[in-house]
């Protein structure tokens, strides 16, 4: 990286939707949501150093196609930086490097994590001391999942998902995460949801039973209450994902689920050892090629190193 040596690194987590209730499309084209976000220990890191100009670079894990991450000046990182700079009336500047481990277009909010990390990193680098309230408001303008990427932990999201309220979560939940090399368009999944469910209720499905399961700390109880209204359209568009979920459950996972709008599939397990056993069994089948093990809840975007 260029510029001075004064800088920092911010880490932001992936998310899983433990519950995703989707209401009927509104006149403005948006869907009301009631979701329970869960931050897991699969991270993107964003390192930034002071520089007179602006640059965004990328490193990515082997299972991520770097071409899928736009670096043409209109990346969500660029937009987040511009929004923060305009908020304070300063010029956008800095030399940024994204180290990406969250699947791209995978339903785990990797772009949102990068946006949240950018807000935190540049706020510290530029010494703006932006209030939490203002950071959350800026995050909501960038995307529905960005405020949660700032907050982390486990939280209920309402509105478009941007109104975030932390909830009690007394478990450490272990997951097997299976990315897909072929992305799935979130807008297309929502359009297909509208086709499949033209009579969907205006109010999204509630999450009371799941919240009680989180409070109990019992993974089997949580497994029974996981819910995703976008899973049916995602599986209809991608039948291979249904086969993947069935395979993971056959290997002993408590429950398989499409993460958000997909195509990443996640599998809840009883413990860390159990998750590693399930992951090993799935890898032994040689399909899928990438299987990850992680847990949650974890913290939202936070500084991990400071130069």
| Secondary structure (H, E, C), the chain | CCCCCCEEEEEEEEEEEEEEEECCCCCCCCCCEEEEEEEEEEEEEEEEECCCCEEEEEEECCCCCHHHCCCCCCCHHHHHHHHHHHHHCCCCCEEEEEEECCCCCCCCCHHHHHHHHHHHHHHHHCCCCCCHHHHHHHHHHHCCCHHHHHHECEEEEECCCCEEEECCCCCCEEEEEECCCCCCCHHHHHHHHHHHCCCCCCCCCCCHHHHHHHHHCCHHHHHHHCEECCHHHHHHHCHHHHHHHHHHHHCCCCEEEECCCCCCEEEEECCHHHHHHHHHHHHHCCCCCCCEEEEECCECCEEEEEC
Q: Is 220 a catalytic residue?
A: no
100 belongs to the catalytic site: no
Instruction: Provide the CA 209 distance to its chain's centre, in angstroms.
Output: 23
Exactly one of 15, 45, 78, 169 is catalytic; name it. Answer: 15
Catalytic site residue from 44, 45, 123, 145: 145
**If phi over 0 gives left and psi between -120 and 50 gives alpha, with beta otherwise, what is residue 286?**
left
**Active site (catalytic) residues:** 15, 145
């Amino acid at each position: 990286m260029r510029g001075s040596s004064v800088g920092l690194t911010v880490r932001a987590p992936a998310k899983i939707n433990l519950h995703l209730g989707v209401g009927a499309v509104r006149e403005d084209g948006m869907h009301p949501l009631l979701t329970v976000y869960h931050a897991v220990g699969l991270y993107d890191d964003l390192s930034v150093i002071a520089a007179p100009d602006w640059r965004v670079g990328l490193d990515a894990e082997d299972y991520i196609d770097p071409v899928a991450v736009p670096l043409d000046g209109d990346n969500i990182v660029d937009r987040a930086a511009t929004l923060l700079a305009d908020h304070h009336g300063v010029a956008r500047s800095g030399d940024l490097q994204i180290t990406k481990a969250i699947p791209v277009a995978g339903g785990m909010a990797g772009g949102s994590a990068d946006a949240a990390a950018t807000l935190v990193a540049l706020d510290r680098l530029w010494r703006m001391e932006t209030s939490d309230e203002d950071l959350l408001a800026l995050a909501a303008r960038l995307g529905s999942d960005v405020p949660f990427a700032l907050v982390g932990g486990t939280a209920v999201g309402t509105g478009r998902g941007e109104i975030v309220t932390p909830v009690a979560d007394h478990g450490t939940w272990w997951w097997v995460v299976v990315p897909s090399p072929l992305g799935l368009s979130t807008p297309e999944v929502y359009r297909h949801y509208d086709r499949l469910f033209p009579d969907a209720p205006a109010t999204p499905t509630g999450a009371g039973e799941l919240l009680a399961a989180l409070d109990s700390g019992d993974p089997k109880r949580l497994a029974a209450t996981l819910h995703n209204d976008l899973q049916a359209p995602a599986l209809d568009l991608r039948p291979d994902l249904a086969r993947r979920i069935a395979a993971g459950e056959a290997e002993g996972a408590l429950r398989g689920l499409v993460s958000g709008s997909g195509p990443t599939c996640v599998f809840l397990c009883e413990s860390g050892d159990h998750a590693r056993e399930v992951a090993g069994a799935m890898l032994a089948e040689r399909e899928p090629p990438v299987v990850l093990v992680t847990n949650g809840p974890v913290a939202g975007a936070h500084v991990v190193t400071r130069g």
